[in-house]
Amino acid sequence: MTEVRNELVRKRYAAERRFRFYGAAALGLTALFLAFLLVDIVSKGLPAFRETSVEVDVTVDAAEVDPANLAGGNYDKMIKEAFRAEFPDVKGRTERKALSALLSSGGADTLRSMVIADPALIGKTVTVPVLLGDDADLFLKGLLTRVKTTAGAMPLHIAQLDGEEGFVLTGDKAGEEAERQLGLAAGDVIRFKGGALRVTGPQNGYLKAEPIFAPDPAITTLAAGQWDVLAFSVPESNRRISDAQVLWLDQLKSEGRIETSFAWRLFEAGDSREPELAGIRGALIGSLLTVLVAISLALPLGIAAAIYLEEFAPKNRWTDLIEVNINNLAAVPSIIFGLLGLAVFLNFFGMPRSAPLVGGLVLALLVLPTIIIASRAALKAVPPSITEAALGVGASKQQAVFQHVLPLALPGIMTGTILGLARAFGETAPLLMIGMVAFIADIPSGFTSAATVLPVQVFLWSDLPEMAFQSRTAAAIIVLLVVLFALNAVAIYLRKRFERRW
């Protein structure tokens, strides 16, 4: 008998241990997913919070700026000319284009605002921090290719080929293959004072190279230490930055003129098709306007509906029907609300497309059921003794509800509302139908001006081909997550601070 009983006990304990293990494993797996997601987003997004610029001395040409129309000056041209003037060796249209491609068109905006702030700058030379273009920026952040620079350890002989373009590279030792003794591979770049060559590889028994910056023909031998080798992890044909551009950036970097700073622009600019200029301010303000409309409608309507249904409405078939419908509405896919908004607000009432007002109305409909359900639950949780005591001392039903029940239920109502708000913040689908999924560069100025919202901005950026938009996307996700975490934190704080238990 005891044998059997012990066996049963052992089994029961084993079952419990197994269950605990499953629970812990589920929790661990969830934590792992979450950690992976966060690490992935943060590591992708962090580079977007830094921006790189190069200091250029620009002469504000009086011929290019009309003092009566400071905004209309051709600042882009002034910056590009000043920048090109620093590389006098760069000739030829393609090279000059590649050189100015390092700079972002946003530099002109900086100079423009400098001149507008101080028109006395016209005719003078100023140092302008010019933002770098997205490819140069990505390269400097190490996201395009890794570069390994090693100093040449032995003498290098360069001989120009007769009759054809190119050079032959040889080391000192005869007999051994040149690429082995010099430690060079195809695609490596040799840099020295007065020129740069790209190794193309062995050909007819010789190690050949082609010029990036054609060297002085007088240079035939470079002593050890006079030349560097740049080895790339990604070959030139596969990256968005050429060998020549890398060398220019390296030169600027060694001169200490490249500045890295916090990218305030991300929070100050609206959307743009240039990744380095794109910011989330427009979307953030659009989100705030939209949610403001949504909450100023949904909160009073939701609480009023909840109070009536919970405290005053007679219990009959009609109120039952309404209750069932409210519960069902909370589970309706959000795109349906977008279609409703399109049909009612845009087509019937003729409201403007893409406006935060319409977006707010749609989101108000979306969160209304959630708020009603949460508010009713909070009202129900207030013990009936409170109402009874109030009624007992002669208060009317309305007085009892508004002066006693509602204040006690308010923390619960606020928590539910904030969670509804957080949902409204993260919605994109219903906004698709009413035209808020759009490229909107201007920062919205009111409830009827065109706007988009943060999650939509994430969606739009994630779909663009430029690599730099991927880190912008992750950065926007980080901001969205921070906003949502903050909202949830407020909800938790309210609950902890004002909650009463009976």
Q: Which of 350, 384, 497, 501 binds another protein (CB under 8 A)?
A: 350
CB 103 within 8 A of CB 54: yes
Residue list 58-117, contact with another protein (CB under 8 A):
71, 97, 101
Q: Does 464 bind another protein (CB under 8 A)?
A: yes
Q: Does 437 bind another protein (CB under 8 A)?
A: yes
CB-neighbour burial class of residue 448 (10 A; exposed 0-12, middle 13-18, buried 19+): middle
* DSSP state string for 184-237: --TT-EEEETTEEEEEEEEETTEEEEEEEEPPPTT--EE-TTSEEEEEESS-GG
Q: Which of 121, 140, 291, 303 binds another protein (CB under 8 A)?
A: 303
CA trace torsion 231, 232, 235, 240 (10° rounding): -140
CA trace torsion 18, 20, 26, 31 (10° rounding): -140
Q: Does 299 bind another protein (CB under 8 A)?
A: yes
The least distance separating another protein from the CB of residue 120, rounded to whole angstroms, comes to 24
Q: Does 173 bind another protein (CB under 8 A)?
A: no
- Helix, strand, or coil (residue 160): strand
Give the integer Cα–Cα distance in Å for 261 and 498. 43
Which of 207, 437 has the CB closer to another protein? 437
Q: Does 450 bind another protein (CB under 8 A)?
A: yes
CB neighbours of 365 closer than 8 A, spacing ≥ 6? 298, 337, 340, 341
Sign of CA dihedral 290, 293, 297, 300: positive
Considering only the stretches 26-34, 221-229, 444-452, 475-483, report the one whose residues sit in contact with another protein under the rule CB under 8 A.
444-452
Number of residues that bind another protein (CB under 8 A): 46
How long a stretch of residues is the chain?
Answer: 502
The least distance separating another protein from the CB of residue 293, rounded to whole angstroms, comes to 6
Q: Which of 448, 484, 488, 498 binds another protein (CB under 8 A)?
A: 448
Q: Does 407 bind another protein (CB under 8 A)?
A: no
The least distance separating another protein from the CB of residue 68, rounded to whole angstroms, comes to 14
Write b or e for each residue in 222-253: b if 16 or more Cβ atoms lie within 10 A of its Cβ, otherwise e: beeeebebbbbeeebeebbbbbbbbbbbbebe
Spell out, one character per residue from 19 to 58, where the chain touches another protein: x when CB under 8 A holds, - when not. Answer: ----------------------------------------
- Helix, strand, or coil (residue 131): strand
Spell out, one character per residue from 220 to 239, where the chain touches another protein: x when CB under 8 A holds, - when not. Answer: --------------x--xxx
The least distance separating another protein from the CB of residue 380, rounded to whole angstroms, comes to 20
Q: Which of 245, 354, 415, 428 binds another protein (CB under 8 A)?
A: 354
Q: Which of 3, 465, 496, 501 binds another protein (CB under 8 A)?
A: 465
Q: Does 428 bind another protein (CB under 8 A)?
A: no
- Nearest-CA neighbor of 465 among 47, 99, 46, 134? 134
CB 372 within 8 A of CB 385: no
Structure tokens that stand for 230 in this block: 């740049």
Q: Does 352 bind another protein (CB under 8 A)?
A: yes
Structure tokens that stand for 5 in this block: 């009983």
CB 230 within 8 A of CB 148: yes
Q: Does 242 bind another protein (CB under 8 A)?
A: no
Considering only the stretches 15-23, 194-202, 331-339, 350-358, report the one whose residues sit in contact with another protein under the rule CB under 8 A.
350-358
Residue list 184-203, contact with another protein (CB under 8 A):
none
Give the integer Cα–Cα distance in Å for 428 and 474. 17
Q: State the residues that interact with another protein by CB under 8 A.
A: 71, 97, 101, 144-145, 234, 237-240, 272-274, 293, 296-297, 299-300, 303, 346, 349-354, 357, 360, 435, 437-442, 447-448, 450, 460, 462-467, 470
